[in-house]
Structure 1
Amino acid sequence: MAQNHRAKLTVGNIPTQLIKLTLPMIVGMIGMVVFNLTDTFFLGQLGTDQLAALSFTFPVVLIVGSLVKGIGMGTSAILSKYIGAHDMDNVKHTATNSLLLGLIISSIAVIIGLSTIRPLFSLLGAEGVILDYIEDYMSIWYYGTIMVVIPMIGNEIIRAMGDTKVPGLIMGVSAFVNIILDPILIFGYGPIPALGIQGAAIATVFARSITAVTSVSILYFREKIITFSNNSFTALIAAWQKILYIGIPNSLIQMALPVGAGIITRMLSSYGPNVVAGYGVATKIEFFAIAFANALTSVMGPFIGQNLGSKLFDRVKTGLKVGELYAMGSGIMIAILLSIFAHPIASIFNKAPEVVETTVLYIRIVSFSFGFQGILKISTTVLNVLNKPFHASMIIFIQTFALYIPLAKFGSSFAGLTGIFGALFISYFAVGILAHFLVRRNLQQYIQTPSS
């Protein structure tokens, strides 16, 4: 086996190793959050209508990304165990076939997306000039779908191999490019005309193109795991079946959040566009705030997978315990800081009082669920590696559709926005605890299974 393909995560001090793996990914995660916050910041300077339009697009953009993220997570879960077992033939075929699957998915997304912009967003509650702005943005964004899909899968493959530095760097560079291009294309500069919300979409597609080219180049030239030799149609279908077995439930997991966000956005639209805009700002700030938890989650899958593949079960148990402690500790600290500085942070993006008040209310309620949200994310990742994707789907379904949305409807009737945002806190708190016990039971069953 080539040196760069060895199982890198099966030796070393576990707490230190998880921190070293997570830190580079934090840079990347923050980069992606800055990527989104940049659009929010500059479009907020154009006006509340443009900001509300971007907020309406958020759930749909997340749905497309969630579908691909699920495929990437399925690929990573399979690859990490192959790497731990030193099975490089299956590593190469799985990596190559997952990228081919991504190409097919992105092509379908373009066709469906472009033909459903106005009816879909009208259903979500957008109308008038806001709907026009949405069409301006999404008609460009959909054409760049392939540039979103390929790096998401490619980075999952690179992380599965134990390298978190390169994916983090790729994500950071993409964010930097977006920061440079956004103001130029949105407001115009020199011979470049002001393109408004269309400029934000063009900047996004261009920045994502850089990540796509870079990730594929690394997989092909450095890792040398993209190959079409001995890759028959039968092998292709077999690989897709394994990926989709984990990938489809994971896609449903990932989609549940934006679908839930879409339902909540529709609910909030009755309070007016300023409240929708404030909610959009708050959710972007939330992505920044939970960057550590997301980064930690992204490395837990490869860590658990490689150690399961090498049958190092004590390292798996210790890694899971350490990961949960990190997630809870960071969540508490971030919640305290955000509560203190909520108002000045919210005011950065838009000065409209109702936008700021909505953002502050969300932050001060929902931030205290971040620790439990981190545990939930880690648990679903570990369940995927344990080949229990439907268990992972179940707990996310419970969180979103059995608790959050019904409680939000109830809370809205009796406590307005406070009731809606309080419902999200309750759902994460309850399901985070449930996930903690569920993943441990399934891990113990996996260890006791003779074939494991």
Structure 2
Amino acid sequence: MEEIRLTEGKIENLIKRLSVPASTGFFFNTMFNVVDTLFAAMVSTEAVAGMAFSFPVFFIIIAFSSGLGIGTTAIISNEIGKGAQGESRKYSIDAVTLGVLLGAVLIIAGSVTTNIFLQSMGAQGEPLAEASKYMEVILQGVVFFALNAVLNAILSANGDTKPYRNVLILGFFMNVLLDPLFVLGWGVVPAMGIQGIALSTVLIQLVGGIYLAKKIIEKKIIPDLKSSELIPSPSHYIEILKQAIPSSLNMVTVALGMFVINYFIMKYSDSKTIAAYGIAIRIEQIALLPAIGLNIAVLSIVGQNYGAKKYERISHAVLKAAKYGVIIMTCAMAIVFPFARQLMSLFTRDASVIEAGAAYLRIEVFTFNTYVLLNIATSALQGLKKPGFAVYIGLYRQLVMPVIVFYVFASTLNMGISGIWWGIFAVNWSAVAITCFYTVGIFKKIGIRS
């Protein structure tokens, strides 16, 4: 089996080796979403608003899938660090079967709750109809999302982030072809509008899953698979879920945070500001891309070195990743702040949407570094098999404090919609302070010098 030992070699080189392919892949993944937004804008402003409303619901699906992937990476990388190849193999197999079960559960749950969630955010009329049509198709491909997360996790735990990068690059180019085909129609293919965007996404997930499975077979990560090995190990399921559930819940809090933000936007503004926010977060995601691979690098490096008890390498990896992330995000801030209006105008010609989005971005840039620091810290804790804190800080940052701070800033201080944007700034930086304090304490408890 081809395996990269993350317990050896220069930390700087390993971070680069893991993070660059991941960041490159996520760049194309974000551009994938940008293409979706552009074609939604061709349908109507209501379609863009519908996608913005549906994003938190869609993100819950991604949250549970990604959480399973993160938990799988943490477990398998630890086993590899210990040199327990038999256990890492069986964990890999069990993670795949668990992914199929998760997908089935999400399809059922999503079918029952999607419209309830959309309406709770204030979606109504045409935006609600567009969001419902989009999610109806997405739900049909949920199993593919869950499986892809697991297959990528198996490869990442073994030190290989390139296959998923390739999937995301391929997905982007497929989307450029499929979105216009399905949205606008051509020949025997009817114009499907926003449902065409969702159908393109589902088909691309299917193709990506086939490619990742092929790579796992080629690398002989699970050679000579026997049918008897497909019988799940309950203890393995429990161990994976112990890591996956906190990670999933942490990401679910992000979706809840989006519900809260959308609710307050509708309270103090209108659906055009929702559309502006939906576009602006795409721009924000692009700005954050160069640093996003650092999370994956930290998780895999910390996981293997914790299993091998090489604690000095853990501290080195976390500090280096944080340094690189801050430098990258500060550069991004210098680009986004002065060109906020121009960036928004790439997606829409609606002047009110452009102004609302630019106002958000000019405040949000000052929180860019918080995302990097929070993600690196929670990835390090996940690699140490201590995922629980992420849930609590997620609830603090996405649900409890926003409800209080948004109301105080927007109403009590009479700041209106800008109070929500400054509220995000205040909550995020306070969360960074709490997270850094907690992480340093855990490092000291384990014996890791920070």
- Tell me the TM-score range normalised by the shorter chain: over 0.9
Matched, 1:182 2:179: yes
Work out the CA distance in 1 between the residues paired with 2:81 and 2:110.
Answer: 39
Q: What SS is found at the alignment partner of 1:116? A: helix
Q: Could you tell me how far apart the structure 1 residues matched to 2:291 and 2:416 are?
A: 29
User: In the alignment, what sits opposite 2:301?
Assistant: 303
Deviation of 1:323 (Å): 0.7
> Which residue in 1 is equivalent to 2:58?
61
Counterpart in 1 of 2:210?
Answer: 213
User: Does residue 419 of the first structure (1) align with residue 416 of the second (2)?
Assistant: no
Paired residue for 1:260, among 249, 257, 261? 257
CA displacement at 1:118 relative to structure 2: 2.9
Give the equivalent residue in structure 2 for 1:431.
431
Letter in 1 for 2:355: E
Q: In structure 2, what is the equivalent of residue 35 of structure 1?
A: 32
User: In the TM superposition, what is the alpha-carbon distance from 1:219 to its structure 2 partner?
Assistant: 2.0
Matched pairs, number: 445
Whether 1:445 aligns to 2:445 is: yes
d(CA) in 1 for partners of 2:376, 2:11: 16
Partner of 2:80: 83
- Aligned 8 A contact 2:68 2:149 in 1: no
Match of 1:94 among 85, 91, 107: 91
AA aligned opposite 1:344:
Q
- Indicate conservation of the 8 Å contact 2:74/2:383, yes or no: yes
Supply the AA of the counterpart residue of 2:440: R
Distance in 2 between residues matched to 1:116 and 1:399, nearest whole Å: 24
User: C-alpha distance in 2, partners of 1:182/1:67?
Assistant: 26
C-alpha distance in 2, partners of 1:313/1:116?
A: 44
Deviations 1:226-281 (A, max 9, x none): 74566486x61101111111111111101000111012112212311101100111
The residue type paired with residue 421 of structure 2 is: F
1:20 pairs, out of 17, 20, 27, with: 17
With over 3 angstroms needed to count, the CA separation of the structure-2 counterparts of 1:101 and 1:232, relative to structure 1, is closer
Q: State whether structure 2 residue 243 is matched by structure 1 residue 236.
A: no
Alignment of 1:108-127 (within 5 A): 108-127=105-124
Q: 2:147 aligns with which of 147, 150, 160?
A: 150
- Alignment check: 8 A CA contact 1:372 1:433 kept: no
- How do 1:125-140 residues align onto structure 2 when only pairs under 5 Å count? 125-140=122-137
State the alpha-carbon separation in 2 of the partners of residues 107 and 228 from structure 1: 24
* Bigger mean CA offset, 370-379 vs 408-417: 408-417
Matches of 2:304 and 2:256, distance apart in 1: 32
CA contact (8 A) 1:386 1:443 kept: no
Partner deviation per Cα, 1:145-165 (whole Å, 9 max, x = no partner): 111111112112211111111
Q: Report the Cα offset of residue 110 of structure 1.
A: 1.2
Q: 1:408 aligns with which of 383, 406, 414?
A: 406
Judging changes above 3 Å, is the alpha-carbon distance between structure 1 residues 222 and 15 closer, same or farther for their aligned structure 2 residues? closer
Equivalence for 2:162: 165
Q: Residue in 1 aligned with 2:278? A: 280
Looking at structure 1, the residues matched to 410 and 178 of structure 2 have their Cα atoms a distance apart, in angstroms, of: 40
| Corresponding residue of 1:332 | 330
Contact kept in structure 1, 2:49 and 2:272, CA below 8 Å = yes
Relative distance call for 1:81 and 1:117 in structure 2 (3 A) is closer
- Structure 2 match to 1:360: 358
String of CA shifts for 1:156-177, please: whole Å, max 9, x gaps. 2211111111111112111221
Asked if the contact 1:91–1:225 (Cα under 8 Å) also holds between the matched residues in 2, the reply is: no
- Specify the code of the residue in structure 1 equivalent to 2:437: F
Any idea what SS the aligned residue of 1:191 has? Answer: coil
1:192 aligned to which of 167, 189, 192: 189
Q: CA deviation at 1:212?
A: 1.2
Deviation digits for residues 358-377 of structure 1, max 9, x if unmatched? Answer: 21111111122111210100
CA apart distance, 1:313: 1.5
> What RMSD over aligned residues (CA atoms) do the two structures have, in Å?
1.8
Q: Distance in 1 between matches of 2:203 and 2:121?
A: 28
**Contact map agreement 1:96 1:228 (CA 8 A) in 2:** no
Aligned partners of 1:106, 1:375: CA distance in 2, in Å?
31
Q: Distance in 1 between matches of 2:437 and 2:117?
A: 39
Instruction: Report if aligned partners of 1:379, 1:392 keep a CA contact under 8 Å in 2.
Output: no
* Regions of 4+ moved over 6 Å: none
Q: 1:341 aligns with which of 332, 339, 353?
A: 339
TM-score for the superposition, normalised by structure 2: 0.95
% identical equivalent positions: 26
Aligned equivalents of 1:104, 1:83: Cα separation in 2: 25
Runs of 5+ unmatched residues, structure 2:
none
- SS of 1:290 mapped into structure 2: helix
Distance 1:254 1:190, change over 3 A: same
User: Separation in 1 of the partners of 2:131 and 2:399?
Assistant: 27
* 1:34-71 deviation line (CA, Å, top 9, x unaligned): 11111111111221101000101000000111011111
Question: Shift of the alpha carbon at 1:218?
Answer: 1.9
Which AA in structure 2 matches 1:426?
Answer: A
